[in-house]
Amino acid sequence: MSFLRALLFLVFQAVTLIPFALGCFLLLPFPFKWRYRFTVGWPHLLMWGAKYILGIKWKIKGRENIPTTPVVFLSKHQSAYETLLFPWFSPKPACFIYKKELNYIPFFGWGLASLRNIPINRSDRKGAMQQVLDIGSKRIREGHSPVLFPEGTRIPVGQKGRYQSGGARLAVHAGASVVPVAHNAGEVWPRNSFLKKPGLVTFSFGPPISSEGLTHDQLNRKVEEWIEGEMRVLSPHRYTDKT
């Protein structure tokens, strides 16, 4: 049954992607807010599909901590599921950092390219960081909220990767506040797994952390401390033997 559910959801993703991507292309002449509102309907639809096909439900903790002004979201990264929430849930348009080559993928890449994200050249590591600072700060000035995953890659639930400082650097450079985000999506949607499990995913948004007067290292440590502390609240069974 799990295999059939996962297969059906994969088909659902593919079938719904094409019309949304074509819609993005057709809406290019129109204002950004129209394109964005249309395009983020796809991840919202996928979360609906995950609920009714896979049995994955979600809830929000700390909704009151999300400002209506642009911020930098720094989130735990466990699966693809959390990337579906931010685009349509954020009060301000969310934008993601990704390698610019993804823009050339038919349908999916077209949608990415039309939404004022932050495409970078990852082969140039030093230059890529500068692109994050320059383009990311511009997006914040435009009223967008960048979403970054400090651990860089998907980490299994109960484990911790090294928190990289790129997101904190961006916040300090732009003078923006950071909202740390913890969640337990990996419990039901494991990284790189075709099979998913029914269950409840809790997204926990922490109080905004001002970047004013902080170095990026200080800000990054505050983010790490909050996220890792909150993970022990969301998934205590994963940390019973850990400090």
Can you tell me the mean pLDDT for 66-82?
96
Can you tell me the mean pLDDT for 71-98?
95
The answer to whether 202 and 61 are in contact (CB under 8 A) is: yes
pLDDT of residue 86: 96
pLDDT of residue 134: 95
Can you tell me the mean pLDDT for 130-143?
95
Cα pseudo-dihedral 133, 138, 143, 144, rounded to 10:
-50
Share above pLDDT 70 across residues of the chain, in percent, rounded to a whole number: 99
pLDDT-derived band at 117 (thresholds 50, 70, 90) equals very high
Can you tell me the mean pLDDT for 120-146?
90
pLDDT of residue 243: 52
pLDDT-derived band at 241 (thresholds 50, 70, 90) equals low
pLDDT of residue 242: 55
Element (H, E) at 17: helix 2-26
Q: Tell whether the model's pLDDT for residue 190 goes beyond 60.
A: yes
Integer Cα distance of 212 and 58 in angstroms: 33
Mean pLDDT value across the chain: 93
Beta-carbon contacts of residue 184 (< 8 Å; ≥ 6 apart): 78, 157, 201, 202, 231, 234, 235
200-236 confidence digits (pLDDT tens): 999 999 999 999 999 999 999 999 999 999 999 999 9
pLDDT-derived band at 103 (thresholds 50, 70, 90) equals confident
The answer to whether 74 and 26 are in contact (CB under 8 A) is: no
pLDDT of residue 110: 72
